[in-house]
Structure 1
Amino acid sequence: MKRILAASLLFISTFASAYDLTVRLPDQAPVVLSMHQLKSELPVVSFTTSTPWGNNPDAAVFTGFTMIDLLSYLKTKDVASVSFIALNDYSSTTSIDDLKRYTPIVAYAINGEPMRVRDKGPFWFIYDMSTFPQTDTPEYHTQMVWQLKEISIKYK
């Protein structure tokens, strides 16, 4: 019975941690934010945009939080850039200037539904390419990391 309980708890904790987002700040312990914290403690932002990925060329509604709001929540200062790391360890870096100029979000829902890992979730760093068509380029496409697991902040 103890083994079944232990296995169940391990499965539940593994499943729950899949919806956590780790943020690394220089010279600090990593900050782990739960999906509940992200949804309840950061302003919710949504936009509708098309993406060059997938079988559906129609626009979708992405919901999440802006990186600027996350940086403010974490009380960061003098940020130079932010790196985004996926579950498969793909990573990309975005300048603070682009974060301020285009206000991309870390989405956790698409068309009102939570994003599953198989659907590029649980988190997807994405630009609003409809409002800012200049971000609909290969340079910006490489920055839009899906299956996001970790964010690393670099200071100036």
Structure 2
Amino acid sequence: MRVFRVCCLAIAVSWAGGVAYSEDIPLPEGDIILKVSGAIENTNLGDTVQFDREMLEKIGMVDLVTATPWHDGRISFSGVPLRSLLDFVGSQGETIVAVALNDYEVEIPVSDAFDTEVILALTMNGEVMSVRDKGPVFVIYPYDSSEKLNSQTYFSRSAWQVAHLIIR
């Protein structure tokens, strides 16, 4: 875990030109698609970090191909590893409350970010996800990578249309 934190700090340093503290994380220039608050060290607006799509993409994107219970066949998603986002904001909590645009809430253990390859998907099959397509942010696990992840426990943690993450 320590090696990963150094890696993410390097991303923050190269992106912001210094350690990612409130004065170093820029304000979003585009539409805000995700807000992170709660037990975090790094902010850009008050006690939150607000991200537009470009800011999230700069943290680093990965691809994940998996079957889901909501789609036919295997789907290709691209997004930010949840652990990268948590490291970027300086997460200090043990639980993430993902809040959707319709105020639906689900709790995700922070340990999922480090024990699985869960991502905050921004694209599906190469297309930016609209609200109609469960976007702009969709919590996706590699469901078909293990029997454990291909279960109702992880399906229920997979919130879509996520607008806010609260770290507790």
TM-score (norm: length of structure 2): 0.74
User: Deviations along 1:83-123, whole A, 9 cap, x unmatched?
Assistant: 11101111111112222111200000001110010010011
Check the 8 A contact 2:65/2:77 in 1, yes or no: yes
User: Deviations along 1:68-87, whole A, 9 cap, x unmatched?
Assistant: 1011111233x211111101
Check the 8 A contact 1:46/1:61 in 2, yes or no: yes
Answering whether residue 41 of structure 2 is matched by residue 62 of structure 1, we say no
1:132: how far off?
2.9
Check the 8 A contact 1:81/1:94 in 2, yes or no: yes
User: Between Structure 1 and Structure 2, how many residues are aligned?
Assistant: 134
Runs of 4+ in 1 over 3 A off after TM superposition: none
RMSD: 1.6
1:136 aligns with one of 150, 156, 160: 150
Check the 8 A contact 2:81/2:117 in 1, yes or no: yes
TM-score (norm: length of structure 1): 0.80
2:62 aligns with one of 33, 45, 48: 45
Check the 8 A contact 2:39/2:91 in 1, yes or no: no
Q: Please, which runs of 5 or more residues in structure 2 have no aligned partner?
A: 1-29, 41-45
Task: Give percent identity, aligned residues only.
Answer: 28
Q: Please, which runs of 5 or more residues in structure 1 have no aligned partner?
A: 1-15
Check the 8 A contact 1:82/1:93 in 2, yes or no: yes
1:26: how far off?
3.4
Higher relative contact order (CA 8 A, sep 6+): 1
